[in-house]
Chain A
Amino acid sequence: MVAEDAVVVGIGETEKSRARADLGEPVMSVEQYFARAAKLTLDDAGIEKDTVDGLGVINAAVETPFTYPAKLAETLGFEVDYLFSEDLGGVNATSLLVQAAISVDAGIADTVLCLGADTPYAPSAEGGDLFPRDPRGPTAQYTHPFGDQGPNASIALVQTAHQNAYGTTREQLGQIAVAQRHHASLNYLAYFDEKLDLETYLASDPVADPVHLHDCVIPVNAGYGFIVTNRNRAQSLDAPAVELAGYGARHNPEPVNQPDMTTTGVVDAAPTALDKAGIEPDDADFVQAYDDYPIIVAMQLEDIGFCAKGEGGEFVEQTGLRYDEKLPLNTSGGQLSAGQAGVAGGFDGLVEGIRQLQGAAGQRQIPDAARGIVTGVGGIAYGKNLLSSAVAVLERGEP
């Protein structure tokens, strides 16, 4: 157990939108998504707004004012003792969770509401970049001037290296996209639920070899939330509790000249998290692995220890990945099919993991889900794999 006296008691997730007013989709600001996520989460837990004394929020990728977390608390009307924020891209959700749990366990706050929202299609933007360009730093100075076309092109380098070293194929990686799309078809909150077969996946347009369109996430506007509170308060609620059994993270792995491009920091984060929880990979009833691209999922499955390094392609080909099969993977549909809400993207897997352990996943409920692994990875690094990785082990709480 990471924080003995802290449990998750509620989740919230909004509908997804690409702000297509012509299709009847809502066009809302990031603050509206934060607000809607807050309301859904409080309602789910049966907690009054006034009892929230801690607030954890992400710094959205969409342009925000200075001192944004406090401005957001002001806009949403939360008066709190403890306010914290995260700015780690794909690791935002898992990182907020551990901070919330620690703060509750330490008695700094009793009830912490964590929120993530982002609007790649912000009402204020007029066809601008999905992610604003870095004004300075390594990307602005040392990759963009050479023609680096952003994350797709960066992950393409990682996938090329993995395919070259281990013979991983697009046919293998396609299994991930196809299984996840099946889950999305069972998730009314997923943006895309049309069936996807391997042929369609393989035939999608190339973006940056070997990454094709169906390897890329679907950017959406959305908001998510969860609430962490102490056991005493949790017992007074009607909501099923979920525990943080283990946690591990690694930032800036391998600061050397020629790091292994085919390995994520999950290789360091996972043993810490699993040891803390006292489990082996096979003890997990599901994995919600951060899925900005199928290759990133395959590498994390290797790095968690479901198979040896390099065997991720073979593993996903031979292992049932659907919610009712051997290793349920990204059961919401993941960011590849449910949608990626900018730097709130990691909430998709975390909220889904909590939902499965609450037994509230409806048509895609994993039978008797008792514990699972949720990861967050993110940050494009120079010369290597991703910059930040985190692994959380969640368990269904005592009834």
Chain B
Amino acid sequence: MSDDRVLPDIDAEPYARPLWEAAQEERLVIQQCAPCSQAQFYPRPLCQQCGAAEFDWVEVAGTGTIASYTVIRRTVALPEFADEIPYAVGYVDLSEGPRIYTRFADCDLEAIEIGQEVQVTFEPVSDDVTLPLFQQR
């Protein structure tokens, strides 16, 4: 992976900082609305379901199923991923409900399919950013 890859700005949204801090410790956490208990991802300033602004951060089991995937065959938006091609990205439906975008690490591209069970794994990419990736189980 080349060094100039695009990284999230962990200070861009102060309300999202717990996500990035937990990822540094190789834990995946999601927002859970304090009043209505609905979990959501990505982090938002309001609950999608009830509109409340108070959240608890809860650690998830790190398991889920593939909601959809694609195998990238050419770079279009992000040339810095050229060395990785072919690679798979897509959405995982976490066991707790929320859907999360990810790259599939060490992926068997021949065997990947919707509904497949996956497990979180962590990839440190800079001093302050660690990304939650997922692996086929």
A-chain residues with CB within 8 Å of residue B42 when the two chains form the complex? 138, 141-142, 382
Contacts A157-B68, A160-B114, A383-B99 given; indicate if A145 touches B76 (C-beta within 8 A).
Answer: no
* CB < 8 Å neighbour of A150 from B41, B76, B90: B76
* CB < 8 Å neighbour of A141 from B12, B71, B76, B81: B12
Contact of A205 with B by CB under 8 A: yes
Q: Judging by beta carbons under 8 Å apart, are B81 and A207 in contact?
A: no
Chain A 156-178 interface mask (CB, 8 Å, partner B; 1/0):
11101100100000000000000
Contact of A256 with B by CB under 8 A: yes
* CB < 8 Å neighbour of B67 from A146, A209, A258: A258
Q: Judging by beta carbons under 8 Å apart, are A205 and B101 in contact?
A: no
B-chain residues with CB within 8 Å of residue A156 when the two chains form the complex? 70
A-chain residues with CB within 8 Å of residue B98 when the two chains form the complex? 257
A-chain residues with CB within 8 Å of residue B90 when the two chains form the complex? 157, 160
Q: Judging by beta carbons under 8 Å apart, are A140 and B114 in contact?
A: no
Which B residue's beta carbon lies closest to that of A131?
Answer: B77
Which residues from 209 to 244 on chain A have a C-beta closer than 8 Å to any C-beta of chain B? Answer: 209-211
Alpha-carbon separation in the docked complex, A210 to B112 (Å): 13
B4 to chain A, nearest CB (A): 12
Alpha-carbon separation in the docked complex, A59 to B112 (Å): 40
Alpha-carbon separation in the docked complex, A157 to B77 (Å): 16
Contact of B37 with A by CB under 8 A: no
Q: Judging by beta carbons under 8 Å apart, are B73 and A209 in contact?
A: yes
Alpha-carbon separation in the docked complex, A299 to B8 (Å): 32
B-chain residues with CB within 8 Å of residue A319 when the two chains form the complex? none
* CB < 8 Å neighbour of A149 from B8, B78, B93: B78
Which residues from 66 to 104 on chain B have a C-beta closer than 8 Å to any C-beta of chain A? Answer: 67-78, 81, 84, 87, 89-91, 93, 97-103
Alpha-carbon separation in the docked complex, A257 to B42 (Å): 10
A-chain residues with CB within 8 Å of residue B16 when the two chains form the complex? 141
Alpha-carbon separation in the docked complex, A148 to B114 (Å): 18
Contact of B6 with A by CB under 8 A: yes
A101 to chain B, nearest CB (A): 32
Contact of A111 with B by CB under 8 A: no
Q: Judging by beta carbons under 8 Å apart, are B39 and A205 in contact?
A: no
B-chain residues with CB within 8 Å of residue A257 when the two chains form the complex? 38-41, 93, 97-99
Contact of A255 with B by CB under 8 A: yes
Tally A-B pairs: CB < 8 A: 125
Alpha-carbon separation in the docked complex, A141 to B129 (Å): 11
B31 to chain A, nearest CB (A): 11
Contacts A144-B77, A146-B102, A149-B81 given; indicate if A160 touches B87 (C-beta within 8 A).
Answer: no
Q: Judging by beta carbons under 8 Å apart, are A160 and B69 in contact?
A: yes
Q: Judging by beta carbons under 8 Å apart, are A145 and B87 in contact?
A: no
Alpha-carbon separation in the docked complex, A141 to B20 (Å): 11
Q: Judging by beta carbons under 8 Å apart, are A141 and B8 in contact?
A: yes
Q: Judging by beta carbons under 8 Å apart, are A164 and B77 in contact?
A: no
Alpha-carbon separation in the docked complex, A157 to B40 (Å): 20
Which residues from 126 to 152 on chain A have a C-beta closer than 8 Å to any C-beta of chain B? Answer: 129, 133, 136, 138, 140-150, 152
A136, A208, A257, A382 — which one has the most chain B CB atoms within 10 A of its CB?
A257
Alpha-carbon separation in the docked complex, A156 to B87 (Å): 13
Alpha-carbon separation in the docked complex, A257 to B38 (Å): 9
Chain B 15-34 interface mask (CB, 8 Å, partner A; 1/0):
01000000000000000000
* CB < 8 Å neighbour of B12 from A136, A152, A160: A136
B-chain residues with CB within 8 Å of residue A143 when the two chains form the complex? 101
CB<8 Å pairs between A and B, sample of 17: A133-B6, A136-B9, A147-B81, A149-B75, A149-B76, A153-B77, A157-B91, A160-B70, A161-B67, A206-B73, A209-B73, A210-B70, A257-B41, A257-B99, A258-B93, A383-B99, A383-B101
Identify 19 new A-B residue pairs, CB closer than 8 A, beyond the known A145-B6, A147-B89.
A129-B77, A140-B12, A144-B6, A144-B77, A145-B125, A145-B129, A147-B72, A147-B84, A153-B72, A153-B76, A157-B90, A160-B90, A207-B74, A207-B76, A208-B70, A208-B74, A209-B70, A257-B41, A258-B93
Closest 9 CB pairs of A and B: A150-B77, A156-B70, A383-B99, A206-B73, A157-B68, A209-B71, A161-B68, A257-B97, A146-B103
